[in-house]
């Protein structure tokens, strides 16, 4: 264990999900909520936080129980654990704000089938200790939240001229209605992916000559 942690430092467990292995922009996981509920910044942020919450808790429990779960029924057990936390989140959101619960709609329950969560349970939490599993869940969840917030902010800004419900663009701005419709999710995701890949390609291109020099 000690040797292994030196190979992959704890900070890396947390940081890899934020950017280098960002679940949305790099791994393209969990596209259903990414495209469906990011029509405003607040929806994106709350969906991200709900997913973060489920991800951290399910990673914790899966990691704790990893020796007690037989391999043959691991997926069923993981889903059971994830579904329970999703139900918990569903009640908590209703308690915080019915309005928010209404705008996220069926997508809260659909966190269950977000492949990101099952993917982390299977690929990471069931193979590592609790502390690393929590850090991994936190990093991936924050990366997911960050991506959803970016999408939501861009779409809300262009689609309604507001940010978190506050008007930021002048009254004369013509909103691009398509951005808050489902199609706008695809446009925004495509544009953000283009931007990120372009930035990384440029960074890679500029890194090579420096190393050779």
As a whole number of angstroms, the longest Cα–Cα distance in the chain is: 62
Shortest distance in whole angstroms from residue 173 CB to other proteins: 6
Quote the least distance from Cβ 211 to other proteins, whole Å: 25
Regarding 106 and contact with other proteins (CB under 8 A), the answer is no
Backbone φ and ψ for 166, nearest 5 degrees, come out as -100, 130
| Closer Cβ to other proteins, 3 or 204, answer by number | 3
Answer whether 140's CB lies under 8 Å from 17's CB.
Answer: yes
Considering the complex, state which of residue 22 and residue 63 has its C-beta at the smaller distance from other proteins: 63
Task: Please report, as residue ranges, which positions from 47 to 66 form the binding site for other proteins (by CB under 8 A).
Answer: 65-66
- Find out whether 173 and 53 touch, Cβ atoms under 8 Å: no
- When asked if residue 205 is in the footprint of other proteins (CB under 8 A), the reply is no
Q: How far is CA 101 from CA 73, 98, 145, in A?
A: 33, 5, 17
Place of tokens 């969906």: 47
Please work out the total of residues on this chain that contact other proteins, with binding judged by CB under 8 A: 46
Find out whether 48 and 144 touch, Cβ atoms under 8 Å. Answer: yes
Is the separation of the CB atoms in 143 and 17 below 8 Å? yes
Nearer to other proteins, 22 or 39 (CB): 39
Nearer to other proteins, 135 or 142 (CB): 135
- Indicate the residue among 6 and 71 with the shorter CB distance to other proteins: 71
Residues between 114 and 153 that touch other proteins (CB under 8 A): 126-129
**Cα–Cα distance between 57 and 64 in angstroms, integer?**
11
Q: Are 138 and 144 in contact (CB under 8 A)?
A: no
Question: Cβ 74 to other proteins, closest distance in Å?
Answer: 6
Per-residue contact string for residues 147-186; x = within reach of other proteins by CB under 8 A: ------------xx----------xxxxxxxxxxx-x---
Structure tokens at 201: 């390609």
83 binds other proteins (CB under 8 A): yes
- The two structure tokens encoding residue 11: 């900070």
User: What is the contact surface with other proteins in residues (CB under 8 A)?
Assistant: 1, 4, 65-74, 76-77, 80-81, 83-84, 87-88, 91-92, 94-95, 97-99, 102, 126-129, 159-160, 171-181, 183
């Amino acid at each position: 264990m000690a040797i292994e942690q030196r190979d992959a430092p704890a900070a890396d467990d947390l940081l890899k999900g934020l950017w280098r292995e960002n679940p949305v922009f790099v791994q393209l996981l969990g596209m259903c909520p990414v495209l469906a509920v990011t029509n405003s910044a607040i929806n994106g942020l709350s969906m991200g936080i709900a997913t973060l919450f489920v991800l951290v808790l399910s990673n914790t429990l899966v990691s704790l129980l990893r020796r007690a779960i037989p391999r043959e029924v691991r997926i069923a057990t993981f889903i059971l654990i994830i579904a329970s936390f999703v139900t918990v989140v569903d009640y908590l959101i209703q308690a915080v704000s019915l309005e928010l619960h209404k705008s996220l709609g069926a997508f809260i329950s659909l966190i269950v089938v977000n492949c990101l969560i099952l993917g982390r349970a299977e690929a990471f939490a069931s193979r590592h200790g609790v502390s690393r599993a929590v850090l991994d869940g936190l990093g991936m969840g924050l990366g997911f939240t960050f991506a959803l917030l970016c999408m939501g902010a861009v779409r809300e800004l262009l689609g309604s001229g507001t940010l978190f419900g506050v008007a930021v663009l002048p009254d004369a701005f013509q909103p691009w209605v398509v951005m808050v419709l489902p199609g706008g999710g695809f446009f925004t995701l495509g544009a953000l992916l283009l931007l990120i890949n372009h930035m990384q390609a440029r960074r890679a291109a500029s890194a090579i000559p420096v190393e050779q020099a």
